Structure 1
Amino acid sequence: MADEKRLLSEEDVHYILRNSFLVEEEMRQWYDNFQVDCPDGRLDKPRLIEMYRKFYKKGSPEEFCDLLFRVLDRDGNGTVEFMEFLLALGVMTSSDPNERLKWAFRLFDINQNGFIEQSEMVSVVSALYEMLGRHLSIDGEEEGEEDMASAVENAFSRMDINQDGQISQDEFIEICKKVPRLARALKLDR
């Protein structure tokens, strides 16, 4: 039956609890909410954009949602099932900064080659600022496109420890942990 509420199996519950940082009560609440928003158990990109528009009314979340959807849809089937959604949520809300930064690295690594190129960093940061509906610097001052590009270039240069023109996951994590202000600028902190 299409409108019958889908249930989590015990195997699903145990898998999520083992592979996320959520407790069972939180996980079940997220499941109930997911079922309300996505009764068929699948989140597609247009629905994700619609959800983000509710939170970011002054901005345009389309570009960011494209990037986010790629990371959420781990099996590449064009929809995000609850397990994919909740495992990503568990990592994004983890108290372990390494796990959050690994997830963020996947968001920035658009071409999925295991490295972040400067153009990828510009794309993600631009999408974040576009979603927020403003261009603000770390200090809260208005920032133009040139300022943002310059700030991203500076951030990229600092993260590219071995100066090979790309940022590895290890470089990314190391610098984000050493320079919290940089992580804030890239919207990677909590």
Structure 2
Amino acid sequence: MGNKKSTPRNYLSEKDLMFLESNTNFNREKIIQWHNAFLIDCPNGKLDKKQFIKLYLQLEPTEGKAEKYAEYVFKAFDSDHSGFIDFTEFLLAFNIRSKGNLEARLSWTFNLYDLDNNGQIDKKELKKMFQVLFTMLNVNKKDERYNVEKRIEEILKKYDVSGDKKLSHDEFVQGIKNDEPLQKLLLDHQLD
């Protein structure tokens, strides 16, 4: 009785459609198309981490290694921390990632790298961020421009307004809004 398992929903109600229309840049027809495609890969209506990484690597092919980055992206898409991504989580995150304005995309990126979800990105998280990005982009690690420790110090010096050796959400977003090369690296995975 009390252990009833919930049945995954693999349909969109009118309420779901209205919610997604008002919270994304997609129209009703596109939402239905996306949902049908989602169900082809996830007939039970849920996408687990392993499936997500496989799909992500197909959608975002890079010359480097993107598996670790895909794990971070999974965490950011899994907004309820259930270990699965449902269609609503997928479409909302995809919308921000691909069609959101600069501030929304930077906010999403902040959440991607705030690994412990404490509202700040510390040196350890910045280090992981650059290591993952540089590995994914297959940079020459001997090149001084890609020295992780040096990049961390530069960023903290520029954007850590409070001086606590961490970046708050606002420090991250405001700082990177005015740093085009870092924007390209974080949002488009392109080197300057």
Matches within 5 A, 1:58-137: 58-132=63-137, 134-135=138-139
The equivalent residue for 1:160 is 160
Rounded Cα–Cα distance in structure 2 between residues aligned with 1:87 and 1:76: 15
Secondary structure, in 3 states, of the residue corresponding to 1:93? helix
Secondary structure, in 3 states, of the residue corresponding to 2:151? helix
Preserved contact between residue 101 and residue 188 of structure 1 (Cα < 8 Å): no
Matches within 5 A, 1:15-26: 15-26=19-30
Rounded Cα–Cα distance in structure 2 between residues aligned with 1:143 and 1:23: 44
Total equivalences in the alignment: 179
Rounded Cα–Cα distance in structure 2 between residues aligned with 1:188 and 1:53: 15
Aligned-residue RMSD, C-alpha: 2.4
| Paired amino acid for 2:182 | L
Rounded Cα–Cα distance in structure 1 between residues aligned with 2:160 and 2:188: 17
Rounded Cα–Cα distance in structure 2 between residues aligned with 1:145 and 1:38: 42
Q: TM-score under structure 2 normalisation?
A: 0.82
Shift of 1:25: 2.8
Say if 2:52 is the partner of 1:48. Answer: yes
Unaligned residue ranges in structure 2 (runs of 5+): 1-8
Rounded Cα–Cα distance in structure 2 between residues aligned with 1:58 and 1:184: 17
Rounded Cα–Cα distance in structure 2 between residues aligned with 1:177 and 1:23: 29
Q: TM-score under structure 1 normalisation?
A: 0.82
Shift of 1:167: 0.6
Rounded Cα–Cα distance in structure 1 between residues aligned with 2:155 and 2:67: 24
Shift of 1:119: 1.5
Unaligned residue ranges in structure 1 (runs of 5+): 136-141
Change in 2 beyond 3 A, CA 1:78/1:38 = same
Please, which of 26, 29, 35 is the counterpart of residue 31 of structure 1? 35
Change in 2 beyond 3 A, CA 1:156/1:36 = farther
The equivalent residue for 1:144 is 142
Secondary structure, in 3 states, of the residue corresponding to 2:99? coil
